[in-house]
Amino acid sequence: MIAEIYYDKGTIVIKGNVHVPHAKFDSRSGTYRALAYRYRDIIEYLERNGIDFIDNALDPIPTPYFDAEISLRDYQEKALERWLIDKRGCVVLPTGSGKTHVAMAAINELSAPTLIVVPTLALVEQWKDKLRIFGEENVGEFSGREKELKPLTVATYDSAYVNAEKLGNKFMLLVFDEVHHLPAESYVQTAQMSAAPFRLGLTATFERDDGRHEILKEVVGGKVFELLPDHLAGKHLASYTIKRIFVPLTDEEKKEYEKREKIFKGYLRAKGIMLRRSEDFNKIVMASGYDERAYEALRAWEGARKIAFNSKNKIRKLREILDRHRKDKIIIFTRHNELVYRISKVFLIPAITHRTGRDEREEILEGFKTGRFRAIVSSQVLDEGIDVPDANVGVIMSGSGSAREYIQRLGRILRPSKGKKEAVLYELISRGTGEVNTARRRKNAAKRTA
């Protein structure tokens, strides 16, 4: 009997008395089924074992032969070569080092219908602009605002997930930009429900704090190439130094901080809680819904954090840094919008947050690029997904212990520029507060990825 392979709503169906690995028997239809991402494994198994089959699974979008001129740096060439060995896997490169060029070269090599999945509409626009090198008529968008399937289609993670069944057999190559987003429980279904045999993940930070990056090995492929900022600094990216400045709280802030810290630590002692992992802290968050003491402890913890993040001496130190770097281009990063707007008001610096409209954001970034603004301040909006013009000074006013956030912020000041001076990243840390441990975790986490 000849087996028949076809696609059905995010699954691969094998019709015929043929059992293959990864597929389970469906008694209702008398067929074997597997999630669509197993398509390539199933075909290779049938071929390897000499089993005759008819393949009706893929219905790819007709795609012309591409012959674009794409020049790559030496490390980009190596990344492409490593990926082409199996045409699966993730390329890890610092922000500003040209991950997109590696993907475009892969598209050029394969000349296959490609779905590029990105986290934001800003990135949709950036990718579409770059893909026009293959012909504007070949570039489409699949998002909440437009749904046009073309040989090269750029989709948001949200739209790709919601329409996974529809898109699942239309493309041969999947490119996941900022692939560390993909392991989210919903987004991963985009990869699982697609039969595309070729897959490329792009990121500056492969590992996730929750460990779910391990899923990528199965649905995209593991790391096939990795370089970190230190590997490229001084040649392809600007050389850099990191300056950690410990800033004391004012007497009034210190008194209020210790008061709130005492409430929080008192609750921990009373409940016998040791904060070793994020799960330990999550227990307090869950308990705050029914335990008044847990709620008060959580409020005290949040209040103490705000004091550390927003200390008056940090603002004074920022003023010194701005004065010292009058001829430089500066990006100021904060954890919360409250401090963004405070800095913007005090120093008359344009602010970008999630509330900033697209037109205003583009006007600010263009002003920063042309030198009309020498500094901008933002919360986590600029960590990824927005093309930020060259800067050579970064100031972290507050942040998390995440290696990803840290490396992305460092990457914002390391973009290549002919004759660019050494970049400097300042970390302002409130002495005697939880920020000290956060900065230590951030530093250690970044080292572990190096």
| pLDDT single digits (tens) 235-292 | 666 677 888 899 999 999 999 999 999 998 888 888 888 877 667 778 888 888 888 8
290 and 318 belong to one structural domain:
no
282 and 322 belong to one structural domain:
no
173 and 318 belong to one structural domain:
no
Q: At what angle do helices 292-309 and 251-271 cross, to 10 degrees?
A: 150
CA 113 to chain centre: 24
164 and 268 belong to one structural domain:
no
Q: Is residue 67 part of a domain?
A: no
Measured in residues, the chain has a length of 450
Q: Is residue 164 part of a domain?
A: yes
Q: At what angle do helices 99-110 and 74-86 cross, to 10 degrees?
A: 50
Measured CA to CA, the distance from residue 188 to residue 226 in angstroms comes to: 22
Q: Is residue 61 part of a domain?
A: no
83 and 207 belong to one structural domain:
yes
Residue 159: is its pLDDT beyond 90?
Answer: yes
291 and 402 belong to one structural domain:
no
Integer-rounded Cα Rg, in Å, for the chain is 25
Confidence label for 54 from pLDDT (cuts 50, 70 and 90): very high
Q: Is residue 66 part of a domain?
A: no
Out of 259, 288, 309, pick the residue that ends a domain: 309
* Structural domain count, the chain: 4
Q: Is 315 exposed, middle or buried (0-12, 13-18, 19+ CB in 10 A)?
A: middle
Q: Which domain holds residue 30?
A: 3-56
* Residues linked to residue 201 through DSSP beta bridges, in sequence order: 90, 176
pTM of the predicted protein model? 0.75
Measured CA to CA, the distance from residue 101 to residue 124 in angstroms comes to: 15
Residue linked to tokens 């989709």: 155
414 and 320 belong to one structural domain:
yes
13 and 92 belong to one structural domain:
no
109 and 40 belong to one structural domain:
no
Q: Is residue 65 part of a domain?
A: no
pLDDT-above-70 percentage for the chain: 88
Q: Which amino acid is at 429?
A: I
Kindly report the number of other CB atoms within 10 A of residue 278's CB atom. Answer: 10
Measured CA to CA, the distance from residue 318 to residue 300 in angstroms comes to: 27
